[in-house]
Structure 1
């Protein structure tokens, strides 16, 4: 078994291309200026279909997290941290917290995005704690 990989679509392809280039890209609505994640065909706020891609700062804060103590396979060595990250631009995304002792993570910790190559096609955004709350 290997890591479960996302399958980029026409809508999400610019997001995944950004990850391969070391950029966290988010969609921004041209009508209401709302920034959103995950990639969609229309604005989740006003349903306008004119969206542009913007590069996020990569910074955020842990809104919630869980420590997985039993991985689904050897490709996911436990323990690992899955977290909801409130990005500086507003959207919330789910990702992994890396390089941190699971017992030291707290809600409110400041994080910064990093990128892990999971395959030739997929580079995954992950986050590292940069300042404990």
Structure 2
């Protein structure tokens, strides 16, 4: 089954202009072009678009995304790795939420804060490289 560019744009919450741009860059060529000039996408293209959108959400630029897609051709394996990362992020965010909720409860009860519990899920080393680049080691 093929989907039109308008259908894919609506489903992916993007624009047909964005999809055409991805096609022009070679990131997401249409699976076929109809006699009317409309672009159509098959299931493999949808999987590729899902990967593009996930990599964009991670902050990668389009040239980096192209490099990732060109080197990682096994979509299922790549999506599996991304899923594992997403689950790890979900767990980290769940720990942060719990930590902040506990802090709010403690503050509302005017109890002693437990510093050992306040920073679960926060990783101060996450931005270490950026900090060292800006201000030194």
State whether TM-score is above 0.5: no
Higher relative contact order (CA 8 A, sep 6+): 1
Larger radius of gyration: 2
TM-score between both structures, scaled by the size of structure 1: 0.23
Higher helix share: 2
Higher strand share: 1
TM-score between both structures, scaled by the size of structure 2: 0.22
